[in-house]
Structure 1
Amino acid sequence: MSDIDMIRAARARIGTHLRRTPILSSPALDAVAGRRVLVKAECLQVTGSFKARGGWSAISAIPEERRARGVIAFSSGNHAQGVAHAAREHGIPAVILMPKDAPRAKVDGTRALGAEIVHFDRETDDRDAMGAALAEKRGLTLVKPFDAPLVIAGQGTAGLEIAEQAADLGVAEADVLVCCGGGGLTAGIALALEAEAPGLRVRPCEPDGFDDTARSLAAGEIRRNDRLNGSICDAIITPQPGDITFPILKRLCGPGLVVTEDEVLRAMALAFRHLKIVIEPGGAVALAAALFRPEAAQGDTVIAVATGGNVDAPIFARALERAT
């Protein structure tokens, strides 16, 4: 199980290989939300998302002899790029299983980092069986996208930064809204804040129709999504919360928040206009909740994590059409 010591150790292994991403703000966003909105811009992280943290944490901890044979991962794109980047920097092979409908920007970004891509169909292929066969044949080590202690610890390094940056800004109490798929980032940040900033409470955020975490937290046990595609928020569409992540979320997080796709697109447009950053749909869900669910958060300040910025041009153009 991940804990604060593992998160601190992950931070030490990451060192200066990744970025300490900034906290951004804008009076215009504050006006929309009716409170101070702080945005943790993980879209400016190496590879364009927080997933670089978990990828580096996991790969850097694999024993050298086993690591040299290479790694394998499953991802629609952000975890793929995080693993591919860490593998390239460690000089080892990376094989990535990506769904056929993964955004082109993420496929191209993963391939540019030197990874071998194997496509699968979300609805018909047994991804896990495909990955297990490849891993056994080539001696590859699986780097899971969220339900793994070392990955959770790596994502938790973002929480250490949030605690420090919030303290620098004089924020001791606030809801921290986090885009949530399987829960690796949400759990890691929650663990970090429990130790370093207990006045900051994590709230998982999801798109409408894919709110398995919100429903699981309300029920007190894991609930699944009825479908696995059909959302522009591809980065955070997972079947259900992880077996490792959910107990952490249940213990430390407040109720989940759910937003519509239209609100996500509007949040992307507002972030581009007022913060000068590009956020992908899955990475904008927390900001959408901060802006358009003001009654759900507590306090005068809310912190939203913009988790990724790897978006295809047509989707981003749709978002910009919402700019009003």
Structure 2
Amino acid sequence: MIRIAIDAMGGDFGPKAIIPALDMVLKGRPEVHFLIYGDEVKIKKYLSRYKNLNRQVTIFHTDKMVQNDDKPSTALRASKGSGMRMAIEAVKNGEAEAVVSAGNTGALMAMAKIVLKTVPGIHRPAIASVMPGIHGDTIMLDLGANVLVDADTLVQFAVLGSVFARANKTRDQQGAQDDKPPSVGLLNIGSEETKGPEHVREAGEILSRIDFPGEYKGFVEGNDITRGTVDVIVSDGYAGNISLKTAEGVGHLVRTYLKESFKSSLLSKIGAFFAYFALRDLRERMDPRRYNGGVFLGLNGVCIKSHGGADALGFSSAVILAVRLARQGYIEQIARDIGHLTDQENLLSEDD
């Protein structure tokens, strides 16, 4: 059985979107059990509509919740007894394998760092997400948890992202994994070794001579994110967050232009009618809800942040990602690989 702790009151829609999302997740995954934290009356209002889901949940009542506009420090001080805090503590206490919340991002990160703590050897946790690409999905980190980092932290991000990519390659299947190591690139302003800031060049030099779960492919540029050039793209949170928001903006721009173009004339509307199935496929492939879920990598427990405005489909994607990581023993693998990295760093420092 895989147990997932759910902060039911987080996000813009709370149980209205979260409960039907859990029903979606349960289809084809009968081994999943949900520990739901929040207002029991509001939860049961929607839960009553899903008979199968009713048998796979345990509700823990609390009427205390973290507000979306709370500052992380304020939310942390008043977090005891809140649904968000209780869900995170379930992972710490071994009662759940992962926690998913659509609530306040800063508050969730602050609580998770305090309650779960980082895996021994990790300097800083990072936020990672799956991004669609022409040649396949790409894992990108950090997406905003750390504005500026040093070379050693970028190297750790490469390890975290590689293990995440291996777990994500299963795409929710329980079969054998692909033994090929994930390809890893460092986000830079050019592919040449002499380009970019010093900490990025130093990280590239380290990755080119150490053994880690991925295969270092050198520097990549912004247009490689959507090409799917590598499996994992590593950056600091400053560049990563800008890249993420730019990609979201471009996606919205393309969808807006397509709608306007197909409504611009009678011939355009006729063309849209004949292109219906192709347009439906395009819409599904570009649907950001199917890629919802930012993973807090480096913590001693699986913690996933859903977009606050996610609907049922979007939230279900985040929960499915949690199930996938729980199945693969992600945290245990991170601990082993970070330990191996630390041993290599010690040897390299002795050689120097």
TM-score, normalised via structure 1 length:
0.29
Give the structure with higher Rg (CA).
Answer: 2
TM-score by length of 2: 0.27
